[in-house]
């Protein structure tokens, strides 16, 4: 059975992302037990926190990366190379400026705070020195990664997501080699941060260089010359994406903040190790969906609503089947996994594994709907709903974690998402198809004429 070109690109992107996710999974499975054994509970918790924070700060580009992705997708569908080039150039100038502001903000915090290390919770005096050094390294790497990772959005917008998957695979292989080496030679927390997060940044920079060289040889997209108006337009359009990303970060990835501030670094370290197994399962789904966002945007721009309907049904069905099976398998075998993998004498609580399993399934289905809404540019409604849901989730986490422990962080997210986001996404998707169908009918009438 032959598949259309758009679907073929989605499949190729998914395959490349699977390779990248596989590398990430192997790296996590090998390095986490090693780091947990070599570092004390406090330092291990800080390392897990900083590793999580790089994903948490995905919103730090102020939504510019996602605007660039959408504009490149639309420009490609319409054959407008000039708009694509202006979006790329403006994106790099904007994200580089954001990186500089982040470094300056951190320097200001260090200058005026009596104890800058409190950003990771209360730490012992013996470990404070290397934690501060690790924080300095983390901030610099974060600032560099914001413009360096923009190339991933560009490649997704041009439906060349296989480059992104390849970059992730290379970064994972480098991390897998670097962390055991650092631990073998007695490396401290700063060296671990540099070897793990630094290799990711280096891989993104290398990907950017390759993309730039391809552009110069006229075999790939090239950046244009940005204007002040282009940059201002990106930041203005990015505010809605920023609201969604910021809300998602506080709703879904703020467990690290709440748990470390409420219970300490050690409980978060054990919680995060278990959670990473579910994150790996979620990564398998997100890999399959990586090419859907630009594909949905491309199809809607061309008025191919039937393709969008069919792709959405297939994606939801496959996500429910695959993620449901993975979550059930993890829930049933978590006790054995943690004993063999982490060497712990006690299994995670049934409430924790059940909650993480349920949330992973809900999140995966939400990612499918989110890919469609993002590709369609339905952002204002998503921003309002996401901010509302995040406020409820973030506030509930402080209450529930204090009452029942780490399990409260997951339960708070489930409650807020099911009450706010799920019904809203159903309404928005139905409205999107209704409006797209009416637009398609009107276009057909105009084409046929009276």
Tell me the mean pLDDT in the region 217-226: 56
Q: What is the pLDDT of residue 280?
A: 75
Q: What is the pLDDT of residue 445?
A: 45
* Confidence grade of residue 30 (pLDDT, cut at 50, 70, 90): confident
* Confidence grade of residue 225 (pLDDT, cut at 50, 70, 90): low
For 244-289, how does the pLDDT look when each residue is reduced to its tens digit (9 = 90+)? Answer: 777 776 776 778 788 888 887 778 777 877 887 887 777 777 777 7
Q: What are the sequence ranges of the domains in the chain? A: 5-448
CA-closest candidate to residue 376, choices 319, 418, 433, 450: 433
Tell me the mean pLDDT in the region 89-110: 90
CA distance 327 to 333: 10
Q: What percent of the chain has pLDDT over 70?
A: 86
Handedness of CA 110, 115, 120, 124 (dihedral sign): positive
Tell me the mean pLDDT in the region 121-127: 73
How many other C-beta atoms lie within 10 A of the C-beta of residue 112? 8
Q: Mean pLDDT lowest for which of 102-106, 237-241, 426-430? A: 237-241
Tell me the mean pLDDT in the region 419-424: 91
Alpha helices in 79-161 (DSSP H): 81-112, 125-148, 150-157
CB 65 within 8 A of CB 150: yes
Q: What is the pLDDT of residue 446?
A: 44
The answer to whether residue 216 scores a pLDDT higher than 70 is no
CA distance 35 to 30: 9
Q: What is the pLDDT of residue 390?
A: 86
Q: What is the pLDDT of residue 50?
A: 79
- pTM for this one? 0.63
The answer to whether residue 59 scores a pLDDT higher than 70 is no
Q: What is the pLDDT of residue 54?
A: 67
Round the average pLDDT of the chain to a whole number and report it: 81
Tell me the mean pLDDT in the region 127-141: 88
Q: What is the pLDDT of residue 447?
A: 46
Q: Mean pLDDT lowest for which of 65-74, 201-210, 223-232? A: 223-232
* Confidence grade of residue 218 (pLDDT, cut at 50, 70, 90): low
The answer to whether residue 108 scores a pLDDT higher than 90 is yes
CB 27 within 8 A of CB 174: no
Task: For residue 105, give Cα distances in angstroms to 82, 143, 235, 385.
Answer: 35, 11, 19, 29
* Confidence grade of residue 423 (pLDDT, cut at 50, 70, 90): very high
The answer to whether residue 2 scores a pLDDT higher than 80 is no
Task: For residue 161, give Cα distances in angstroms to 46, 82, 87, 289.
Answer: 32, 21, 18, 11
How many other C-beta atoms lie within 10 A of the C-beta of residue 27? 21
For 375-409, how does the pLDDT look when each residue is reduced to its tens digit (9 = 90+)? Answer: 888 878 888 888 888 889 989 999 999 899 889 99
Q: What is the pLDDT of residue 361?
A: 92
Q: What is the DSSP letter of 119?
A: G
Q: What is the pLDDT of residue 223?
A: 54
The answer to whether residue 115 scores a pLDDT higher than 90 is no
How many other C-beta atoms lie within 10 A of the C-beta of residue 341? 17
């Amino acid at each position: 059975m032959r598949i259309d070109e758009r679907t073929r690109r989605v499949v190729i992107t998914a395959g490349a992302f699977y390779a990248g996710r596989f590398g990430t999974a192997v790296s996590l499975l090998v390095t986490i037990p090693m780091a947990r054994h070599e570092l004390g509970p406090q330092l291990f918790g800080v390392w897990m926190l900083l590793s999580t924070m790089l994903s948490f700060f995905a919103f730090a580009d102020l939504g510019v990366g996602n605007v660039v992705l959408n504009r490149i997708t639309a420009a490609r569908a319409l054959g407008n190379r000039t708009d694509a080039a202006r979006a790329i150039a403006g994106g790099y100038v904007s994200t580089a400026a954001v990186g500089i502001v982040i470094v300056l903000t951190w320097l200001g915090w260090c200058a005026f705070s009596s104890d800058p290390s409190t950003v990771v919770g209360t730490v012992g005096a013996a470990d404070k020195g290397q934690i501060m050094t690790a924080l300095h390294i983390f901030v610099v790497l974060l600032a560099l990664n914001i413009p360096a990772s923009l190339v991933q959005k560009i490649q997704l917008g041009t439906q060349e997501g296989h480059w992104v998957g390849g970059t992730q695979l290379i970064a994972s292989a480098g991390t897998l080699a670097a962390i055991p080496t650092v631990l073998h030679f007695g490396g401290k927390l700063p060296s671990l941060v540099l070897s793990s997060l630094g290799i990711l940044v280096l891989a993104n920079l290398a990907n950017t260089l390759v993309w730039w060289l391809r552009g110069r040889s006229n075999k790939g997209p090239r950046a244009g010359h940005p204007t002040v108006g282009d940059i201002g337009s990106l930041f203005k359009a990015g505010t809605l994406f920023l609201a969604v990303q910021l809300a998602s970060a506080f709703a879904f990835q703020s467990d690290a903040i709440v748990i470390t501030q409420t219970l300490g670094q050690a409980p978060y370290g054990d919680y995060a190790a278990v959670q990473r197994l579910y994150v790996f399962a979620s990564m398998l789904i997100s890999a399959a969906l990586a090419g859907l966002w630009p594909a949905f945007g491309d199809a809607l721009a061309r008025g191919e609503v039937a393709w969008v309907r069919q792709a959405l049904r297939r994606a939801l069905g496959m996500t429910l089947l695959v993620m449901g099976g993975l979550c059930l398998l993890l829930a049933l075998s978590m006790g054995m996994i943690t004993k063999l993998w982490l060497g712990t004498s006690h299994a995670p609580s049934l409430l924790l594994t059940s909650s993480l399993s349920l949330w992973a399934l809900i999140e995966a289905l939400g990612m499918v709907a989110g890919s469609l809404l993002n590709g369609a540019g339905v952002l204002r409604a998503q921003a309002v709903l996401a901010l509302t849901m995040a406020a409820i989730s973030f506030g509930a986490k402080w209450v529930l974690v204090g009452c029942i422990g780490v399990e409260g962080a997951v339960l708070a997210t489930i409650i807020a998402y099911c009450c706010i986001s799920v019904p809203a996404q159903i309404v928005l998707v139905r409205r999107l198809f209704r409006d797209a169908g009416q637009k398609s009918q009107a276009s057909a009438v105009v084409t046929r004429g009276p």
